[in-house]
Structure 1
């Protein structure tokens, strides 16, 4: 469905810089609930952790376009209405490949979408909607933060900057 890592903008930058320098990871995440209030999660194909759909921006994309594309690539769902609610710029992390990134990420809540959920894609080995009190044990720490930030946004209506 999507561009292979080595051909992606971020993959090409990482290859040209090498593995040791910190680089910016610019991208988007999506939080999607179904009509029963269950959260959409994907089980990533690279590390098998459950996570919210997310990924890196490609050249020429807006943050919103990135969010829509990543959701589609990872789930087969195309967001038709979404709102940004948190903007991250200060978090640095090192992944399992020893690549360090400073994240510049926008997280969107998706209000509506079209399409049928795909359980497997090039980037995920499973996907589904989960009740918030029954999330998979092997899930990303990002989920808890994304949900807490969404609750804060819904209370205040103010975009969260981190």
Structure 2
């Protein structure tokens, strides 16, 4: 549906600087809760963890456009109304390939969307809506933090900054 890793901006930068330097990873994630308060998760094709649709920005995109594109690429759903609720800039992580990134990520609550959910895409091996008290595993390490941030935002109206 989208670019391959090698074609993406981050893939091209990683390819030119090598594996050892820490890169800035600028991206977005989209949180969808349906009318039954079930969370949309994808099972990632790379590590098989259950995660919120997310990914890196491409040149020329806004963070909102990135969230819309990533949700579409990973689920087949097109976000039509979304609100930012958290902005994280303080996390550095090393992935399973030994690449280290400092993340700059905006999380969006997606209120409305269109399309039919695709359970399998180039980036996911499964997808579905799950009750918050029965999320599948293994799950992404940041999932609980994102849901806590969303709950805090919804109760305070304040953008979460970390």
TM-score for both structures, normalised by structure 2? 0.99
- 2:36 is the alignment partner of 1:33: no
Aligned to 1:107: 107
Alpha-carbon offset, residue 146 of structure 1? 0.5
Aligned to 2:80: 80
Considering fraction of residues, name the structure with more helix: 1
1:12-58 deviations in whole A, cap 9, x for unaligned? 00001100110000000011011110000000001110000000000
Aligned to 1:8: 8
Q: How many residues align?
A: 162
Aligned to 1:134: 134
**4+ runs of 1 displaced by more than 4 Å?**
none
Give the root-mean-square deviation of aligned CA atoms. 0.5
CA distance in 1 between partners of 2:36 and 2:155 (Å) = 21
SS in 2 for 1:89: strand
2:49 and 2:137 in contact (8 A); partners too: no
- After superposing the two structures, state which structure 1 stretch, 17-26 or 133-142, moved more: 133-142
1:65-105 deviations in whole A, cap 9, x for unaligned? 00000000000000000000000111100000010000000
CA distance in 2 between partners of 1:129 and 1:8 (Å) = 28
2:42 and 2:127 in contact (8 A); partners too: yes
Alpha-carbon offset, residue 141 of structure 1? 1.8
CA distance in 2 between partners of 1:11 and 1:134 (Å) = 34
Structure 2 matches for 1:11-160, cutoff 5 A? 11-160=11-160
In the alignment, structure 2 segments of 5+ residues that lack a partner are: none
Alpha-carbon offset, residue 137 of structure 1? 2.1
